[in-house]
């Protein structure tokens, strides 16, 4: 599996016994990219049999705790495992203060470098590229500075010119807005937060979140190949409700559970 998404957590602000907070790992030709890092992420990485050493970069969408509280513990554990490769971390500029705090109080003897890249994107903007994948950031419509991330495979010996180039987009906390489908246009797999069902659409708007219907409209307008929902409110226990609301708008919708693995494009 050359382009694979592992969902580590699907809860929103309030974790549940069966749902951890936001984190996903995208695997591209054996290298790992961690997207958000809620509390308990390092344990979930171990449970899924993923390697701390192979995490090439971390992408943080915003500085609400359910998306970032696990980051400092993860960095510390990487040090205990003897990581020596530089860890690249991307996120809003305010994230740097957390990393400065970590270095000051817990960073003594850390055997690898932390390389922070402040994200600032007013539209779709490339922020990182290696020989296998190009990563772009785009703004979202949340209470605080928040970004989504798009991952596009680039031609390589393993995936030559002329072959299909897989793509994935991660839409974290956001209210719906008209530009969003253009940022994720044509991706094979779109992850879109769906904190609320349609019954709570007014609350979603007030809290700058999305419903499952709004996520489905975004996927349809973007011409995405498939849609994965997550970041569910703790009050919503039956995931079938999210599917029943989204599928009439966008048929190829999945409701993610912790531990789900999706090969991109979906088979």
Q: Which residues participate in catalysis according to the annotation?
A: 66
CA distance 92 to 147: 8
Show the beta-strand stretches assigned E in the chain: 3-9, 23-28, 31-35, 55-59, 87-91, 114-118, 125-129, 133-139, 147-153, 167-171, 189-193, 226-230, 253-255, 261-263
The arrangement of strands across the sheet holding 167-171 comes to 125-129, 133-139, 147-153, 167-171, 189-193, 226-230, 253-255
158: Cα separation from own chain's centroid = 24
Bridge partners of residue 81, in order along the sequence: none
- Cβ-contact 35, 67 below 8 angstroms: no
Q: H-helix or E-strand containing 204? A: helix 201-206
CA distance 197 to 129: 36
């Amino acid at each position: 599996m050359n382009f694979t998404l592992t969902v580590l957590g699907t809860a929103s602000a309030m974790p549940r016994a069966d749902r951890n907070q936001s984190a996903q790992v995208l695997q591209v030709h054996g290298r790992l990219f961690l997207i958000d890092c809620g509390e308990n992420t390092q344990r979930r990485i171990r449970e899924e049999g993923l390697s701390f050493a192979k995490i090439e970069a971390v992408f943080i969408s915003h500085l609400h705790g359910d998306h970032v509280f696990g980051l400092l513990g993860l960095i510390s554990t990487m040090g205990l495992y003897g990581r020596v490769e530089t860890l690249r971390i991307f996120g809003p500029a305010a994230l740097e203060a957390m990393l400065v705090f970590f270095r000051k109080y817990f960073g003594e003897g850390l055997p690898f470098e932390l390389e922070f890249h402040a994200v600032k994107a007013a539209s779709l903007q490339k922020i990182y590229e290696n020989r296998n994948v190009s990563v772009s950031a785009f703004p979202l419509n949340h209470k605080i500075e928040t970004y989504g991330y798009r991952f596009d495979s680039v031609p390589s010996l393993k995936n030559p010119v002329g072959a299909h180039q897989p793509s994935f987009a991660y839409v974290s906390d956001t209210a719906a807005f008209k530009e969003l489908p253009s940022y994720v246009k044509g991706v094979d797999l779109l992850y879109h937060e769906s904190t609320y069902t349609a019954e709570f659409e007014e609350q979603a708007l007030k809290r700058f979140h999305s419903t499952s219907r709004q996520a489905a409209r975004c996927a349809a307008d973007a011409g995405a190949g498939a849609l994965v929902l997550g970041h569910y409110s703790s009050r919503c226990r039956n995931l079938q409700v999210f599917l029943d609301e989204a599928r009439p708008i966008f048929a190829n919708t999945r409701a993610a559970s912790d531990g789900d693995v999706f090969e991109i494009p979906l088979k």
